Chain A
Amino acid sequence: DADVTQTPRNRITKTGKRIMLECSQTKGHDRMYWYRQDPGLGLRLIYYSFDVKDINKGEISDGYSVSRQAQAKFSLSLESAIPNQTALYFCATSDLWTGKPDEQFFGPGTRLTVL
């Protein structure tokens, strides 16, 4: 089984709809991240969490919110989706206690299309 899973893997939605992307991990890592990837722009950080009580905005948090329900779960919500949020979304994890807190491991991604 994959260490980092994301659901759904693909989603098509309409402008104005609320949508939630979910991420779960079995690696036991304390840190979790949400990124989006657009063609030609590379990966950009949306939100990150270093433990259950810690949530931080990334480069492009406007229009997004997150919830760290447990150490293993980190959800990303689009309260009112708009077409320019069409992108590939990745969840990632890392762990301070491995001694390599910057080595991140990615989920398979969610391809989101907003019409």
Chain B
Amino acid sequence: KAGVTQTPRYLIKTRGQQVTLSCSPISGHRSVSWYQQTPGQGLQFLFEYFSETQRNKGNFPGRFSGRQFSNSRSEMNVSTLELGDSALYLCASSLGERTYNEQFFGPGTRLTVL
């Protein structure tokens, strides 16, 4: 089985721009979660989707949004980028309905905001 894939792997943007990141879960997985990882804050939860519905949301501003499609693929969008948004964005999928289950992480998208 193919693992979780994320595109693009690297991205450079400037302040004020917006960005869309994509995640394809493992085949058969219907739950997708997004995380932000930075050296200073560590791993932080952004949101979780199951069957196209957002089930849980972390403590991030409204500039961060996401969605899930009927094929379980997910996208996250960050609008009006700030320097502090530079991070590794990780997507994870799981078989079950909630994040209590084993999470399979993708390789991440490294976003640099200049």
Do these two chains really belong together in a complex? no
Residues on A facing B (Cβ under 8 Å): none
Binding site for A on B (CB under 8 A): none
